[in-house]
Amino acid sequence: DSGVTQTPKHLITATGQRVTLRCSPRSGDLSVYWYQQSLDQGLQFLIHYYNGEERAKGNILERFSAQQFPDLHSELNLSSLELGDSALYFCASGGTSYEQYFGPGTRLTVT
């Protein structure tokens, strides 16, 4: 157990809908990173937050947004969902070193 929690574990929704994924970092970690893992694309970096501020953006679609709250938990919002958004979404937390630890992931299925 990495100490990073993610909810929900599974999510099934229809195209065009909006969902919110939640991540709580390890105690003491200020960084939260979001990743998308599809079968054919490996782990894609989406966005990084540090202590409430956005630090870096990767291959994140405009339909996706994220934020980190004062208690350091983070939410990833996915809207206007398409079939191709079906994937595993991981968050990872990190402290003052570069190491990051992954949560168990949320499996999103868009039908």
Q: Which residues bind other proteins (CB under 8 A)?
A: 2, 33, 42-45, 48, 50, 55-56, 58, 90, 98-105
Q: How far is the CB of 26 from other proteins (least distance, A)?
A: 13
Beta strand pairing call for 10-13 and 100-102:
unpaired
Q: How far is the CB of 13 from other proteins (least distance, A)?
A: 20
Residue with Cβ nearer other proteins (54 or 82): 54
Q: How far is the CB of 82 from other proteins (least distance, A)?
A: 23
Task: Report DSSP letters for 2-51, one per residue.
Answer: -S-EEE-SEEEE-TT--EEEEEEPPTT--EEEEEEEETTTEEEEEEEEET
Instruction: Give CA–CA dist 111/108, Å, rounded.
Output: 10
Q: How far is the CB of 104 from other proteins (least distance, A)?
A: 5
Residue with Cβ nearer other proteins (14 or 40): 40
Residue with Cβ nearer other proteins (45 or 79): 45
Instruction: Give CA–CA dist 6/79, Å, rounded.
Output: 19
